[in-house]
Amino acid sequence: MSTYKSFAVIGAGTVGLPILSTLAAQNVSVVLLSRKGVDASKTLPAGVQVAIVDYADAAAVAAVFEKYKVDVVISTVASDAVPAQTVLVDAAKSAGVKLFVPSEFGMTSEAQPHDPKFKVAEHIRNVGLPYALFFNGAFTEFIPHIFPVSDGKITIVGSGEVPISVTSLGDVAGFVAYVLTTLPPAELENRIFRLQGDRATLKEVAATLNATVKIVDKITGPMGELKTYLMTKADTGIMSTGYDVTTKAERTGNEAAGSANSLWPGHQWKTIKDVISA
């Protein structure tokens, strides 16, 4: 059984707010760290404390962790703030935090020295702070935005024949809250959790959306550059949570895509169809 009783969540955005909500439903202490000038109190569930602090001030952040006797830090910062998490890591180490969960929540970042998320994970290891990494692939809710149907078609880059992992925001938040409040520290520390709510190729996604596929070299229009990047990545296999960039193959056994799902017994993971039909 988990011995962690006090949690700090960094950020209350797309990922942070669902995690806050699920943690708040448990019998644990939860504090939200929010940047100076950001008023997040209006959207928070009951019982969540709020500490307004400058993320770049390690001493101030450490003081918050100490004040609330934080056992676990869960960072949900956006991608542009990922490199700055090293300050949060140092603050957590200084304050005696027992487990640090960096802002992964996407495709795998392992063995990719140029990936800012990999660099943060390396920093956590180097300072000797226990960590847990959560890989969930793409968020299922984002599919209609990344692959909007126009005239019965979706436009993709690449072959569209390589499977990707997708997981709903609710499932990710629920899983994180469940394992952190139920598993003993020995089963959480220095561990990677590979989630997968559903698995499909982009062509199969199109079929689920009742659309045909149009293949192009790049996506234009709003978010075109980001969509092109994500689809190009998907075609390499890295959007599967079990993909090994070193061997360029899928991992197996307890490192396979979705291998962590079984740690949440009895849970019904949402499929792509479940989410887009809701």
Which value, to the nearest 10 degrees, does the dihedral of the CA atoms of residues 3, 258, 117, 227 take? -140
Q: Which helix (H) or strand (E) holds 30?
A: strand 29-34
Instruction: Report the pLDDT value the prediction gives residue 44, as an integer from 0 to 100.
Output: 85
How many whole angstroms separate alpha carbon 155 and alpha carbon 164? 17
Confidence tier at 277 by pLDDT (50, 70, 90): confident
Contact partners, residue 239, CB within 8 Å, separation at least 6: 107, 137, 138, 162, 164, 165, 230, 233
- pTM of structure: 0.96
Q: What is the pLDDT of residues 206-229, one digit of tens each?
A: 999 999 999 999 999 989 999 999
How many whole angstroms separate alpha carbon 24 and alpha carbon 45? 7
Alpha-carbon separation of residue 29 from 49, 71, 80, 87 (angstroms)? 8, 10, 28, 23
How many whole angstroms separate alpha carbon 125 and alpha carbon 266? 33
Q: What is the pLDDT of residues 49-98, one digit of tens each?
A: 999 999 999 999 999 999 999 999 999 999 999 999 999 999 999 999 99
Beta-carbon count within 10 A of 97 CB: 23
The whole-chain average pLDDT of the chain stands at 95
* Structural domains present in the chain: 6-137+167-194 (3.40.50.720), 138-166+197-250+266-277 (no CATH)
Report the DSSP beta bridge partners of residue 199.
Answer: 165
Alpha-carbon separation of residue 242 from 149, 207, 249 (angstroms)? 28, 24, 8
The DSSP code for 44 is: P
How many whole angstroms separate alpha carbon 89 and alpha carbon 100? 7
Confidence tier at 38 by pLDDT (50, 70, 90): low
How many whole angstroms separate alpha carbon 104 and alpha carbon 143? 19
Instruction: Report the pLDDT value the prediction gives residue 278, as an integer from 0 to 100.
Output: 75
Mean pLDDT value across residues 10-24: 95
Mean pLDDT value across residues 265-272: 98
188: left (phi over 0), alpha (psi -120 to 50) or beta: alpha
Q: Is there a contact between 203 and 216 (Cβ–Cβ < 8 Å)? A: no
Give the chain's largest Cα–Cα span. 56
